[in-house]
Structure 1
């Protein structure tokens, strides 16, 4: 490995250490969202470090064909130390600022979508449902009124005919009506009991 390649390797590994400090800080900042879930936390931690190891080794492979030397690890540690001493505080501030801006943009977009799409759709649905219910209620009232108009003359005719019938036939009809009413009430009680037991 030539001196030029060694120099490029050193620079690349120092920058890699700096990158590792930045990405590790970012990962720690977002890890609070899954820290309470132990299995997910282990999975994310292992995945993170495996990914970073592969990325660093890929960079090393592109620079010096993947030759591992002691100074490579020293350069990575140097870059990581530079981040901790000189960059960490400023990057934490910048990261929090970026997160705050992203959240503000997200809330703005959410409010715009809510105002322009969700709220009008809800209002239209409420208007449509109200109109349908009003039409159904109106139809039911019309049908009820028409039924009363049609059945009232029939009721009068049956009442007149019933009054003409002999007394014994009227008594038998009253008894039959009472019997059928008892059967009807009994059936209703059975249905209520069955439905109550199923619930």
Structure 2
């Protein structure tokens, strides 16, 4: 391996180690979100280290065709140590500021969408439902009034016929009406009893 390629390999691996420190701190900052699941802890840890190993090897492959030497591991550790010594504290503060900024933007957008989109849609649907319910109520009252008007002559004729009926037939109708009223009251009492028991 020529000297220039070795130098490029060293530089790439130092930068790779520096990046690995950034990626590890970012991963550790996000890890509390899955700390309650043992499966997710193992899955995320294995996935993180596997993906970072593949990435570093890909960088190495692009620089020197994937030739592993002892100094490659030393360079990665050196880059990681440089990050921990010089940039870890600053990056963690920057990461927290970025997270807070992202959350602030998210909450602002959520409130804006709720105010400009969701709330008007709910208001329109509520208004539409109220209008439909009111229209149905008005139509029901109109139909009920029309039916009363149309049935009024028949009611008058039935009452007129009823007045000319013999007393025995009238008494029969009285008995039927009394039986119907009794059954209606019994059903109401049973329904009230069942309702009170359920409560």
Partner of 1:143: 143
Distance in 2 separating the partners of 1:87 and 1:4 = 28
Say yes or no: does 1:109 pair with 2:101: no
Question: Per-residue CA shift, 1:7-27, capped at 9, x if unaligned?
Answer: 111111110000000001001
Report the more deviating stretch, 86-95 or 2-11. Answer: 2-11
Extract unaligned runs of 5+ from structure 1: 193-199
Partner of 1:155: 155
Partner of 1:15: 15
**C-alpha displacement at 1:97, in angstroms?**
0.8
**C-alpha displacement at 1:111, in angstroms?**
1.9
Partner of 1:197: none
**C-alpha displacement at 1:179, in angstroms?**
5.1
Distance in 2 separating the partners of 1:175 and 1:80 = 101
TM-score (norm 2): 0.87
Partner of 1:29: 29
Partner of 1:118: 118
Say yes or no: does 1:65 pair with 2:65: yes
Aligned residues: 193
Question: Per-residue CA shift, 1:169-188, capped at 9, x if unaligned?
Answer: 11223334455667778899
Distance in 2 separating the partners of 1:53 and 1:68 = 13
**C-alpha displacement at 1:3, in angstroms?**
1.4
Partner of 1:2: 2
Distance in 1 separating the partners of 2:123 and 2:23 = 46
Extract unaligned runs of 5+ from structure 2: 193-199
Distance in 1 separating the partners of 2:143 and 2:67 = 91
**C-alpha displacement at 1:152, in angstroms?**
3.0
TM-score (norm 1): 0.87
**C-alpha displacement at 1:157, in angstroms?**
2.2
Question: Per-residue CA shift, 1:44-65, capped at 9, x if unaligned?
Answer: 1111110000000111111111
Say yes or no: does 1:74 pair with 2:80: no
Distance in 2 separating the partners of 1:44 and 1:186 = 68
